[in-house]
Every structure is written in structure tokens, then in C-alpha cells.
């Protein structure tokens, strides 16, 4: 001990003259740091209710609750996360993982209330003083817990692709598929948007787990065309995908294809459910397209004796005759159809049900009938000269290409229309060495074709002429035609509705083509239905209820014929629904 | 070095006081007691005002973290582990993240390694600041506790700025760190270090040149060098015996090999010596942080990991340890290849210090000094039983 040890402690007194560290009113004067993990905020418009926040929350502090008083849009579950501050630990993993980025935190941390229930609230729905706060925790820029970029699909390359009908999309390798499947958060928002309501998270999980048999089983629960849909589906699911709200949607379609590609047809039977015992009931199906064959598959599975009538020499309908080989190679389609046939479904190829061989004949010989004849008749251009022999019908061109017939399109081709048939015709013509112009009466963004189809057609060298109203087709005198169109501009006539094209007076253009392919839509052919059949028909379509039943209780219809969505997956869904309804009637379980 | 034979007090050596004689008294210190550094208790047998025997009792703070972790996803455990040791959450975060990275074979970016090192030194400083307040407080010097806890709050302000949380930072995430430093952070950090350094000078003057503190702390709780291996003593408690054992140097994890420092040792090995050593380590931490601010590399802060909802870690096991303020903090993690840990064991250095060493040291100590002795071992019951 020295003297210093006695004196030094008195040095504390110097602090008495210094400014104190403490503040007088800490509640008022201490805002949280700009990055503070305070109370949650949610942009309820941006949020799609995918529930990834709920899945990652380690304390189960988040529950998804229905959004009251608001109709959810497509791809929105209609649920919003509700926080329970009795459980929350403010780790902000929910903010880090949120695919849409709607969930954030404010830097507010004081909330005093005598009612303990108020601490369970739905951010963004229950308004709070901190809503819209600029400060608070945000995930680090450029760092996401989820992979927002899609695994790149190996492709043939457009310069190479246009030279042949080889399949453009090569398909994922195992490593790529598993990596892509890992991006999915299993929110299931996609299920509602899929017309067939496929269990998408279920089969993506099968890819992750590397269990292809389980994957195939899940696919076949709702869709007996995985090879086809894995290639050409309109993938409404991907538009709804919650990962798509903040990046590229999961490549659901390619993953479906991956599963189907991995299993050999000979191994399908091992993975898929067995047929039930024969019921002795006979069902006739008109048209072997995706709708008809789906109904056939599910009916056969339930033990019914199914016969499919197909006017063409091969089954598949528009999948075969409407979709070119480079998008859906025939062996892939044959695999899907092959499995359906292996269940004992009889497909009578080249046997049309038509004006001679009518529906009433079928109806008497079978217990139930499903009509899925699609839309085989192409609409005409309805302009002077549209009957010229060099004005071709798009669907017919595609069918001829499928049959391997010489198309004789010539060097310069005009394709009129903006749907998928127009794009397929364009790309088929390109592959036949033609130079192609696509003429569409509205703008590119109005085109009903898939965006990627349009993009690919353009990449492959097609020229898009927008706002072109067809006026006339004249003979050019040298074996071709002169196509005349009027340039248009878009006029918004009614507020809230999409603008319509209006011809610009005098802006007439014309060009010589070797042929014009008209692809502006198709209509049904119901020549085999007679009035005596008693089927109620409205606007050239049979009137059906939600199960596909017409006004005759044993006759059902579905697919493009009745479904305005006009895509394969909707037809498949119709087929499945009708099969279940037919089964209920045949087994006496009631409609 | 000579190794002690008996390292647990055998029952035969336990005092069996004849309470009826009126000579002895059995008293409990804790679980709620300002002199206990968390929820545990000491069952003391006293004779007059000196302790004859002591039995430590834990079990008040068992929260079942290790078991809980087995039912949560790998990533979901990262906000959980920090809660194991309240004053130093970051060591849990680091050990857990590093163990996962080792098992999964993930290489983290250089900047995140440095940021991790920086946060670990910051929390070391904060933890020591809280300790020194406790140490002074246990001997009746409340003023120093007021100062040092304020200084700790300044460090917590920095953490709030960096991570968004004051106590549980959840900053070290598997794969790297959660976010880069905000604007002007290093300036705030260096300014705060200057203030803390000045305060430490003041504390050094009024605490270590204080006749009361000297009289009470000198000679209290002397740990012989031989006990170190016997009891598994680590950290400042071991270094105070003169053994230069510091994982930062010995293992050379994180950015420590690139920093200029030497383990601090002393030979006093009593409460006073350990306090002096820890004060020196606070200056050392300040120095290390300054070095890191100077040398901090730029670049990415996090490595991309698979989707946390399904992240599976290859089967295997690993032990990752780090030098925390109390000694060797470690995580033993076993993976069976699934999306959840098979087993996680946390090694808190306080286990041996607070239980076995304490029982041995407390004999013969004045009742009034038990609290000071306990704090001088710098123990945290939360990490004893998780």
C-alpha cells in the first residue's frame, strides 16, 4: 500500500462536474438505429401470402391468416402473415427470406398496451403508426437467402435450331434439376393457378430428394401427359410462382419434364397406381387429344372399358398436329400416349366420328360419351381474296408438317395472327428456309401467344409487323400473292379496357409473298351432333356444367371445344374432371 | 507440470457440520443474489463469517437449447444459439456458423472473416466492461459499475448500428455475416474506443489503486498453476497463472493470425491478478479492433448457401472452439446428413470455473468475499447448463 492507494479513489469526484452519460427522457430521445430490427411492416399489395416467412420462423411466431375484404389476384394465396409478438425473437429471418421483399421492419421498438391480444397483428393490414417507416431492418443489398436466378436451361441455340426440327430445349441434368428444385419454397401458390391443380411442390420435392418414382406418381395423380406438359405447357404456375415476385420463377415446367424423362416407359407401371377391377362399363371418347386421352386414362384406371375415336392416323390431337416437333418431339408424346394405351385404352385411329358416323350411334353402344374434338376449323381472314390457293390455314400447315408432307411455302411467307399457332407456323416456315413476316393487328404486348414463343420467333429471324389490319389478298401473277394491309394506331375507346386498333386513313401497305398463312383462330366442328341427340348448344359449343356434363346426363364434353383457356393443361383438367363425374354416374354414386 | 490427483472434492472431505452445535450455519447464496453472476446458487456452510464448505447448485437456467436444436432446421438454429450466453452471444453465433461451414465445406469470404473477428473483439470488450462493473460492485464500488456499464452500452449502440440488435446481434450467419458495416460505422467505432480507453484509464486509477479493492482482492481465490489442466481451466483464469494459453494464438482461427498481439499473462493468479489481466485484455481488444479497422479487406460478405428450408449438411461431426472472455467456448456439432442437427453440444468454459473450481476456492473465504470471488472467476451460469 502506498499513499496513492488512499488518494486515487477520490478521483471519481471529477465526474461530478462532467456532463452525465444518461439522458433525461430516454423514451422520447432514443430512436432505434437505422438498421434496428423493430416492429414488422408488410406491403400487403406486394405480398402474395406465400408463407415462406412462416416456414422459416423458428418460433412459430408467424401465422398466415385470410385477408378480409379483398379479393386476391392470380398468384396470391389471399393470406397474410400475422405476427405474434409473444413468440417473435426479432431475428428477421422472415425479412431475409421474403421472396417478394414485401416484409420489412421499422426501427420502432416501443409499444405499450394493457391488452395482450393486440400484440398479435397482421402488418400492412392492421394499420400501425410505424407503417411506411423509411428506417428499420432491411436485408443486405445483393444477398438473398433464396436463389432468385433460374438455373440456365441448355438450349440448341437459335442459329442451329432454325436449321432443323431438332428439339430446342435440351433438358436439365440431374445436378441442374436438383439445384433448380432447391429454389422452390413449397408455398403452393402455384397449385391454385394450375388448371389441373397439380401438386407442384410435391413433385419438386421428389426432384430434390431424387425420388423419380414418387415424382411420377404425383404427376400422374392429376396429369397423364407429363412429357408433353413438361415441354409445352402454358405454365400458368410459373406466372404465379412466389419466387417470381422477386426474381425468376422456378422452372416448374422443366422440372416436370425432368421427372418424366428420367423414368423409362417400361418402368412406369412399377411407379404408378394399379388399375381397379373391371366394372364392365363402356365409355366412348371422341378425339384423342390431351382432354380425351386424360379422360381415357382416369376412366381406365377406375376399371372402365374405354374406346377412343380419332380421325387422324395418330393420336395426340393438337399436341401432335398443332405443336411442331422442335417443341414437342413425337417420341415424348408417344411415351405419354403409350402408357395410357398400356392400361387397355383402345384408340381407334383413322376412325372419325362425323356426319355419317354420328354421336347417336355411339351413345347407344356405350354407357357414357366424352366429346373432346377441339377446334379443328380455321377461321378465314374475311378479306377479299382470302380464298386464294396461296392463302393457307395455319393449323393445316402444322398438321402437314407433322405428317411429313412437303409444305411448299416458298421463300417469303406472311403469317397473320398473334397466337401460339401463328408463332408455331412462323417457326415451322423458318425451318423450311422461308423469310417470315408476322402481321398482327394489335401491339406485341397484346399478342395472346406465350411471351417466350414470341421472343424465340423473333430471335430465329421472324420480322414482326404490329398494328397491321389485313385489307386484301391479290394474286401477284407470278405464283404468289400480294398482301395488303392498313397501318393502324391504338385507340383507347373505353376507359379500363384494352385499346383497339384503328386504321390510319391512307396508310396502306402491301408486300408480295409466296404464301400467306392465316392463323387468327379456329372454331369447333360439331357436324356429328344432331339435334335429336338433345345436346344444348350455344355459340357453336355444347353447354356444360362444372364437371363437363352436357344437357344429356351421359354425354360429357371438354377441352378446347368448351374451354376458353384453349391450352393442353386445361383440356387435361377437363378430362380428369369429366372422368370422375362419369365414374360417379356409372358406379351409381350419383352425379 | 505436476498434475493434481483429486479434482473433485471427495465426499469424505465434505464438511459434515453439526448444526445442532450452533457453531455452524448453512446458508444459500443465490439463485437470486446480486453476487451471483446468473441463476445458480451456492450452499455455504459457514462458521462465524468464514466459509467451511460449499456446494454449487445449478439447474435454474436449463432451457434445453441443445435438444431444441435437434428439431429445428440448420438455419433456424442460428438465431437460437446466441441466446445461450447472454452477455456474449457472438461466440455462439461464430462457433455454430463455423461448425456448419466446416461440415458443409463452405468457404466464407475474407471480409466476412474480418467482420466476424471484429464483432468478436467488440463483444469481448463489452463483456469485460460488464464484468469489471460486477467485480468492482462485488467489493462495494458501485460507481465503477455505473461507468463501465455505460461504456458497454456504447458498444451495444455500435452493435445496434451494425446488426440491428443490441443484445442478440444475430450477425454472424452461416455463410458469412448478415450485412456490411453501415456508413460511418468505423468512425463511430474508433470514436467510441477512444472514449472507452479514457474511461479504462480512470477505472484503472480508482479501482486498481484503491486500498479497499487491493486489501480484499489480493490473495483471494488463488489458483495454483497445477490446477489448470486438472480442472480444465481456460481463458484469463488460466493465463493469470502464467500459462500463455490463448486459442486466438494457439488455433489461429479467423483473422487472428494476421493481427499483431501476444497472449497476456501474469503470475498473481488471485482475484486482483485476474482483474489486472482482464483490464489489460480490454486494452488489447481495443488495439486489435483498431488494427482490424486499418486492415479490413473489401469484398463480398456472404457466401451463397442452398435454400435454408431444405439445406442438408453432409453427415459428419466437428468441434469448433473460440477464445471467449471466460476461456474456451466450443460447439460440438454432429450431422446425420439431414436438414437438422443430430446433436449439438455446447462447451461453456464457466462450467468448470463456476462449479468445481469455485467449490475448492471458496473454503475459508469470508462470506462477504464470496461474491467477489465468484465474479473474479468470471462465470456465466447460462452457459453452464444451456
Identify the pLDDT of residue A513.
92
The x, y and z cell numbers of residue A403, run together, are: 405428317
Sheet of A468-475, strands arranged across: A468-475, A481-491, A500-513
Measure the CA–CA gap between A518 and A458, rounded to whole angstroms. 18
Question: What is the reported pLDDT for B5?
Answer: 53
Non-local CB neighbours of B12 within 8 Å, separated by 6+ positions? none
Nearest to A8 among B180, B209, B304 (CB): B209
User: What pLDDT band is residue A12 in, cutting at 50, 70 and 90?
Assistant: confident
CB B317 within 8 A of CB B335: yes
At A28 the pLDDT is 62
Nearest CA in chain A to B157: A33
Look at A8 and B205 and tell me if their CB atoms are within 8 Å.
yes
* pLDDT (0 to 100) of residue B132: 92
Cell for B149? 456499464
Q: Which residues of B fall within a CB distance of 8 Å from A58?
A: 72-73, 76-77, 79-80
Q: Is the pLDDT of residue A350 over 70?
A: yes
B65-385 is classed in which CATH architecture? Orthogonal Bundle (1.10)
Distance, in Å, from the CA atom of A450 to the CA atom of A235, rounded to the nearest integer, reads 10
Give the orientation angle of helix B110-138 with respect to helix B271-295, to 10 degrees: 150
More confident residue, A376 or B30: A376
What local confidence, expressed as pLDDT, does residue B25 receive? 86
Q: How many CB pairs under 8 A join A and B?
A: 104
- Region A111-121: mean pLDDT is 90
Nearest to A58 among B72, B210, B302 (CB): B72
Q: What is the pLDDT of residue B236?
A: 92
Residue A65 phi/psi, 5-degree rounding, is: -120, 150
Mutate which: A7, A8, A62, A105, vs B, most B CBs within 10 A: A8
**Alpha helix (H) residue ranges in B139-175:** 142-163
Q: Is A87 exposed, middle or buried (0-12, 13-18, 19+ CB in 10 A)?
A: middle
Contact between B354 and B117 (Cβ < 8 Å): no
Helix (H, G, I), strand (E, B) or coil at B280: helix
Least CB-CB distance to A6: which of B75, B211, B306? B211
pLDDT reported for residue B113: 93
Q: Which of A4, A137, A143 sits opposite B209 (nearest CB)?
A: A4
ipTM of predicted complex = 0.84
Which residues of chain B lie closer than 8 angstroms to A29, CB-CB? Answer: none
CB pair distance less than 8 Å for A93 and B75? yes
Q: How far is Cα A517 from Cα A417, in angstroms, rounded to an integer?
A: 9
Q: Tens-digit pLDDT profile for chain B (386 aa)?
A: 454 554 566 666 676 777 777 788 888 887 876 666 668 888 888 888 888 888 888 888 888 899 999 999 999 998 889 888 888 899 999 999 999 999 999 999 999 999 999 999 999 999 999 999 989 988 888 888 888 988 999 999 999 999 988 899 999 999 999 999 998 999 999 999 999 999 899 898 888 888 888 888 888 889 988 888 888 899 999 999 999 989 998 888 988 999 999 999 988 888 999 999 999 999 999 999 999 999 999 989 998 899 999 999 999 999 999 999 999 999 999 999 899 999 999 998 888 888 888 888 888 888 888 888 988 998 888 888 88
The pLDDT, as a whole number, for residue A425 is 92
Q: How confident is the model at residue A327 (pLDDT cuts 50, 70, 90)?
A: confident
- Which chain A residue shows the shortest CA-CA distance from B174? A145
Residue A24, pLDDT > 80, answer: no
Judged against a pLDDT cut of 70, whether residue A205 lies above it is answered with yes
C-alpha angle B77-B80-B85 in degrees, rounded to nearest 5: 135
DSSP for A228-239, written as a single string: HHHHH---HHHH
- Closest residue in A to B303 (Cα) is A143
Angle among Cα A165, A169, A170 to the nearest 5 degrees reads 105
Could you say which residues from 303 to 332 on chain B have a Cβ atom under 8 Å away from some Cβ of chain A? 304-310
Q: Where are the alpha helices (DSSP H) in A511-558?
A: none
The C-alpha atoms of residue B75 and residue B305 are separated, in whole angstroms, by: 10
- How many Cβ atoms from other residues are within 10 Å of residue A275's Cβ? 13
Residues in chain A closer than 8 A to B210 (CB atoms):
5, 8-9
Residue of B nearest to A34 (CA): B161
| Closest CA of chain A from B164, distance in Å | 4
How far is A88 from A59, CA to CA, in rounded Å?
6
A489 DSSP β-pair partners: A502
| Least Cα separation, residue A59 to chain B (angstroms) | 9
Contact list, A96 vs chain B (CB under 8 Å): 178
Contact A145/B307, CB-based, under 8 Å? yes
Beta bridge partners of A486: A469, A508
Closest partner residue to A8 among B210, B215, B306, by Cβ? B210
| CB A441 within 8 Å of CB A464 | no
Backbone angles phi and psi of A215, in degrees to 5: -60, -45
pTM of the model: 0.85
- Which pLDDT score is estimated for B1? 46
Q: Does B366 touch chain A (CB under 8 A)?
A: no
Whether A93 sits inside 8 A of B76 (CB atoms) is yes
Range name among A53-62, A305-314, B31-40, B123-132 with the lowest pLDDT average = B31-40
* Residues paired with residue A488 on neighbouring β-strands, in sequence order: A503
Is the Cβ of B214 closer than 8 Å to some Cβ of chain A? yes
Contact B309 A58 (CB under 8 A): no
Three cell numbers at B328? 474456451
C-alpha distance from B368 to closest chain A C-alpha (Å) = 21
Instruction: Say yes or no: B298 contacts chain A, CB-CB below 8 A.
Output: no
CB contact under 8 A, A9 and B212: yes
CA end-to-end span of chain B:
33
**What integer pLDDT is reported at residue B293 of this predicted model?**
93
pLDDT mean across residues, chain A: 87
Task: Compute the distance between CA of residue A253 and CA of residue A538 in angstroms, rounded to an integer.
Answer: 35
Instruction: Choose the mutation target among B307, B310, B337 for the interface with A, i.e. most A CBs under 10 Å.
Output: B307
Q: How far is A181 from chain B (nearest CA, A)?
A: 10
CB B143 within 8 A of CB B75: no
Q: Which chain A residues have a beta carbon less than 8 Å from that of B178? A: 96, 140
Test B77 with A58 for CB contact under 8 angstroms: yes
Residue B139: the pLDDT is 87
Q: What are phi and psi of A519, to 5 degrees?
A: -140, 65
State the pLDDT at residue B278.
Answer: 93
Verify whether the Cβ–Cβ distance A11 to B205 is below 8 Å.
yes
Q: What are the Cα distances from residue B280, in Å, to B84, B197, B286, B287?
A: 27, 11, 10, 11
Strand positions, DSSP E, chain B = 24-29, 41-47, 50-57, 172-173, 176-177, 316-323, 328-335, 341-347
Give the model's pLDDT for residue A551. 86
From the candidates B69, B89, B309, which should be mutated to test the interface with A, based on the most A CB atoms within 10 A? B309
In the predicted model, what is the mean pLDDT of residues A10-20? 82
Give the distance from residue B200's alpha carbon to the nearest chain A alpha carbon, in angstroms: 13
Q: CA torsion B277→B281→B284→B290, rounded to 10°? A: -160
At residue B6, the pLDDT reads 46
> What are the residue ranges of helices labelled H in A343-384?
359-365
Those of residues 46-85 in B touching chain A at CB distance below 8 A are: 72-73, 75-80, 83
B-chain residue closest to A179, CA distance: B306
pLDDT in the model for residue A215: 92
B64-101: burial string, b at 16+ Cβ within 10 Å, e else? ebbeebeebbbbbbbbbbbbbbebbbbbbbbbbbbbbb
Q: Residue A511: what are its φ and ψ, rounded to 5°?
A: -155, 150
Contact B160 A33 (CB under 8 A): yes
pLDDT value of residue A429: 92
Instruction: Supply the pLDDT for residue B43.
Output: 87
Amino acid at each position: 500500500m502506498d499513499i496513492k492507494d488512499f488518494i486515487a479513489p477520490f478521483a471519481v469526484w471529477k465526474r461530478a462536474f462532467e456532463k452525465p452519460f444518461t439522458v433525461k427522457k430516454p423514451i422520447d430521445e432514443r430512436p432505434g438505429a437505422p438498421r434496428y430490427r423493430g416492429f414488422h411492416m408488410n406491403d400487403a399489395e406486394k405480398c402474395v401470402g406465400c408463407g415462406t416467412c412462416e416456414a422459416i420462423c423458428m418460433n412459430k411466431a408467424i401465422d398466415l391468416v385470410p385477408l378480409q375484404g379483398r379479393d386476391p389476384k392470380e398468384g396470391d394465396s389471399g393470406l397474410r402473415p400475422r405476427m405474434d409478438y409473444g413468440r417473435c425473437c426479432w431475428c428477421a429471418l422472415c425479412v431475409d427470406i421474403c421472396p417478394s421483399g414485401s416484409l420489412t421492419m421499422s426501427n420502432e421498438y416501443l409499444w405499450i398496451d394493457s391488452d395482450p391480444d393486440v400484440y398479435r397483428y397482421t402488418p400492412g393490414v392492421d394499420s400501425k403508426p410505424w407503417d411506411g417507416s423509411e428506417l428499420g431492418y432491411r436485408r443486405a443489398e445483393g444477398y438473398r437467402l433464396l436463389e432468385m436466378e433460374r438455373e440456365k436451361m441448355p438450349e440448341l441455340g437459335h442459329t442451329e435450331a432454325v436449321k432443323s426440327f431438332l428439339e430446342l430445349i435440351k433438358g436439365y441434368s440431374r445436378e441442374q434439376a436438383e439445384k433448380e428444385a432447391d429454389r422452390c419454397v413449397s408455398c403452393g401458390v402455384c397449385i391454385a393457378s394450375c388448371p389441373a391443380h397439380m401438386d407442384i411442390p410435391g413433385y419438386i420435392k421428389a426432384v430434390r430428394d431424387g425420388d423419380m418414382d414418387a415424382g411420377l406418381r404425383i404427376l400422374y395423380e392429376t396429369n397423364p401427359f407429363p412429357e408433353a406438359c413438361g415441354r409445352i405447357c402454358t405454365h400458368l404456375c410459373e406466372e404465379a410462382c412466389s419466387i417470381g415476385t422477386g426474381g425468376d420463377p422456378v422452372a416448374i415446367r422443366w422440372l416436370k419434364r425432368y421427372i418424366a424423362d428420367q423414368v423409362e416407359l417400361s418402368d412406369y407401371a412399377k411407379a404408378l397406381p394399379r388399375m381397379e377391377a373391371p366394372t364392365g362399363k363402356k365409355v366412348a371418347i371422341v378425339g384423342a387429344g390431351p382432354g380425351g386421352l386424360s379422360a381415357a386414362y382416369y376412366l381406365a384406371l377406375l376399371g372402365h372399358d374405354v374406346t377412343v375415336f380419332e380421325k387422324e392416323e395418330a393420336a395426340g390431337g393438337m399436341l401432335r398436329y398443332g405443336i411442331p416437333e422442335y417443341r414437342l418431339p413425337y417420341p415424348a408424346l408417344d411415351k405419354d400416349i403409350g402408357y395410357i394405351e398400356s392400361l387397355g385404352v383402345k384408340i381407334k385411329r383413322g376412325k372419325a366420328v362425323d356426319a355419317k358416323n354420328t354421336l347417336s350411334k355411339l351413345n347407344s353402344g356405350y354407357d357414357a360419351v366424352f366429346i373432346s374434338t377441339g377446334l379443328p376449323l380455321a377461321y378465314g381472314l374475311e378479306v377479299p381474296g382470302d380464298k386464294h390457293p396461296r392463302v393457307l390455314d395455319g393449323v393445316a400447315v402444322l398438321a402437314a408438317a407433322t405428317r411429313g408432307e412437303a409444305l411448299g411455302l416458298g421463300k417469303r411467307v406472311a403469317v397473320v395472327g398473334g397466337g401460339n399457332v401463328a408463332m408455331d407456323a412462323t417457326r415451322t416456315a423458318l425451318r423450311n428456309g422461308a423469310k417470315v413476316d408476322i402481321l398482327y393487328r394489335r401491339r406485341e404486348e397484346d399478342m395472346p401467344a406465350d411471351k417466350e414463343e414470341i421472343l424465340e420467333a423473333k430471335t430465329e429471324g421472324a420480322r414482326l409487323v404490329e398494328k397491321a389490319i389485313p385489307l386484301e389478298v391479290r394474286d401477284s401473277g407470278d405464283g404468289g400473292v400480294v398482301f395488303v394491309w392498313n397501318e393502324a394506331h391504338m385507340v383507347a375507346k373505353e376507359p379500363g379496357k384494352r385499346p383497339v386498333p384503328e386504321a390510319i386513313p391512307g396508310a396502306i401497305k402491301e408486300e408480295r409473298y409466296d404464301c400467306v398463312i392465316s392463323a387468327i383462330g379456329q372454331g369447333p366442328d360439331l357436324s356429328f351432333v344432331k339435334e335429336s341427340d338433345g345436346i344444348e348448344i350455344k355459340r357453336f359449343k355444347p353447354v356444360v356444367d362444372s364437371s363437363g356434363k352436357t344437357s344429356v346426363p351421359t354425354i360429357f364434353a371438354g377441352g378446347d371445344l368448351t374451354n376458353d383457356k384453349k391450352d393442353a393443361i386445361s383440356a387435361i383438367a377437363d378430362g380428369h374432371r369429366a372422368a370422375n363425374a362419369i365414374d360417379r354416374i356409372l358406379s351409381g354414386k350419383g352425379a | 507440470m505436476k498434475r493434481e490427483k483429486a479434482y473433485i472434492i471427495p465426499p469424505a472431505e465434505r464438511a459434515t457440520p453439526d448444526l445442532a452445535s450452533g457453531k455452524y450455519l448453512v446458508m444459500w447464496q443465490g439463485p437470486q443474489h446480486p453476487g451471483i453472476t446468473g441463476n445458480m446458487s451456492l450452499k455455504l456452510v459457514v462458521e462465524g463469517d468464514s466459509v467451511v464448505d460449499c456446494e454449487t447448485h445449478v439447474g435454474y437456467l436449463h432451457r434445453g437449447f441443445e435438444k431444441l436444436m435437434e428439431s429445428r432446421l440448420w438455419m433456424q438454429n442460428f438465431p437460437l444459439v446466441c441466446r445461450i450466453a447472454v452477455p456474449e452471444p457472438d461466440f455462439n453465433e461464430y462457433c455454430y456458423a463455423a461448425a456448419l461451414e466446416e461440415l458443409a465445406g463452405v468457404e466464407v469470404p475474407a471480409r466476412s472473416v474480418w467482420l466476424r473477428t471484429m464483432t468478436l473483439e467488440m463483444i469481448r470488450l463489452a463483456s469485460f466492461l460488464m464484468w469489471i462493473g460486477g467485480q468492482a460492485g462485488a467489493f462495494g464500488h458501485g460507481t465503477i459499475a455505473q461507468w463501465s456499464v455505460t461504456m458497454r452500452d456504447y458498444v451495444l449502440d455500435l452493435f445496434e448500428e451494425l446488426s440491428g440488435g443490441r443484445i442478440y446481434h444475430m450477425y454472424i450467419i452461416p455463410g458469412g455475416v448478415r450485412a456490411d458495416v453501415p456508413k460511418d460505422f468505423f468512425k463511430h467505432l474508433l470514436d467510441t474506443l477512444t472514449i472507452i480507453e479514457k474511461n479504462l484509464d480512470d477505472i484503472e486509477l480508482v479501482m486498481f489503486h484503491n486500498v479497499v479493492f487491493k486489501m480484499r482482492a489480493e490473495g483471494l481465490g488463488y489458483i495454483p498453476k497445477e490446477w489448470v489442466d486438472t480442472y480444465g481451466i481456460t481463458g484469463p483464469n488460466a493465463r493469470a497463472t502464467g500459462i500463455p494459453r490463448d486459442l486466438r494464438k494457439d488455433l489461429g482461427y479467423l483473422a487472428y493470425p494476421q493481427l499483431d498481439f501476444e497472449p497476456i499473462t501474469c503470475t498473481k493468479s488471485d482475484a486482483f491478478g485476474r482483474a489486472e489481466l482482464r483490464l489489460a485484455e480490454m486494452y488489447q481488444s481495443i488495439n486489435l479492433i483498431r488494427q482490424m479497422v486499418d486492415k479490413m479487406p473489401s469484398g463480398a460478405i456472404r457466401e451463397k448457401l442452398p435454400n435454408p428450408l431444405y439445406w442438408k449438411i453432409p453427415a459428419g461431426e466437428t468441434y469448433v472452439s473460440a477464445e471467449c472472455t471466460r476461456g474456451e467456448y466450443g460447439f460440438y456439432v454432429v450431422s446425420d446428413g439431414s436438414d437438422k442437427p443430430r446433436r449439438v453440444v455446447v462447451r461453456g468454459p464457466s462450467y468448470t470455473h463456476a462449479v468445481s473450481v469455485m467449490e475448492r476456492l471458496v473454503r475459508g473465504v469470508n462470506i462477504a468475499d464470496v461474491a467477489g470471488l465468484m465474479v473474479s472467476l468470471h462465470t456465466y451460469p447460462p452457459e453452464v447448463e444451456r
